[in-house]
Structure 1
Amino acid sequence: MFRLRSMPQERLISWQEHTLTVYAEDLTSSSLTGEQIAQHVAESARELFPDGGLREGHSVLEVVIEGEAGGYLWVGPSDSTDDFYVFDVEIDGQFRGRGFGRAAMRAAEEIARERGYHGVALTVADANMVARGLYESEGYETVGARQGRRFMRRAL
C-alpha cells in the first residue's frame, strides 16, 4: 500500500539536513572542488530553504508504505523553466525495487497536472544508473548535461 502525506513539520529540519548532505555527496562525482561543493550547497540551502522553511509552492511529501514513512518526494516550481520540478525523490532501502519510486514519480506528475503544469523536469547524477533507468522508462528525456549531471524532462 502506497500513499503520500505532508511531511510533519517536526521532521522537516532533519530532512533538510539529510537532503543537503546527499546533494553534497552527489556533487563529489562532478569536477567541483570540495570548497566549490561547500559553496554550492550553502547557496542552494539559502535559496531553497529561506528562513529554514520551504519556498513558496514547494511540497515535501512522505511516501507512506505499509503504514510507515518509507521515503519522500520533494516537488515545486522550477526556477529555470516553466516545468514542475522533482527536486528529490528517495525510497528507503528496504522498500526499493518494489515500484514505489515509480509510484512517487507518477504522483509528482499528477500534482503537476493539478497545478496546471505541462511538463515535469528533474536533475540526476550521471552515475545514478538506477534512477536514470526509472526516469527513462517513464518517458523522461535528457535535455542537457553539465558537471556529471543530466537534466531530464517529460511533457505531460
Structure 2
Amino acid sequence: MSERNTVSWTSLICGYARGNLVKEVVSLFFEMVMAGVEPNSVTTVCVISACAKLKDLELSERVCAYLGESGVKVNTLMIFDEYVDKNLLLYNTILSNYVRQGLAREALAVFEMTRQGYIVVRVHNWAILCSESLIKCGDLKSAWQMFNEMPKSDLVSWNTP
C-alpha cells in the first residue's frame, strides 16, 4: 500500500471481516493503531463485530478500552442495531464501553433494549448494570431502582460492588 491512512486500513479490515477472517480483523486493527492511524466508526463496527464472533471478552474489552482512551466517537447503539448476531458478549462490550466513559444514561438505554427482546438478560447482568454502570457513573438513584426491579436477587447481586 503506497499510502496507509484510515480509509485504506478500514477497507482492508472490512474486507477481512466480510471474508469472516475475524482473527485477522483484530490483528490488523491493532497493527493500524500501532502505526499511528486512528480508526473511524466503520473500522470500529468491523472490529467489534469480529470480537463478538470470536466470543473473546478480554479482547473485546481491550478494543473498547483503546477506543474509550483514544476518544473515538462511536455510536454503539448503531453498532448494536446493525449487528445481526446480538449475543451477550456484544451486549456486554457495548455496555462496558459506555461505563468506561461515565455515560450512565446510554448504558441504561442499552440495557432497556433487553426488555424489547434483543437479548436475554441474566440476574448477573442486572447486578453488573447496577454496580458498574450506574453507581460508578454516580447515578445512585437509578442503581437502587434497577436493583429493586431485578426479577430475582441472589448472592451475586447482593455482593456486587
Q: TM-score normalised to the size of structure 2? A: 0.31
Whichever structure has more helix as a proportion of its residues is 2
Q: TM-score normalised to the size of structure 1? A: 0.32
Greater relative contact order, per chain length (Cα 8 Å cut-off, separation 6+): 1
Larger Rg: 2
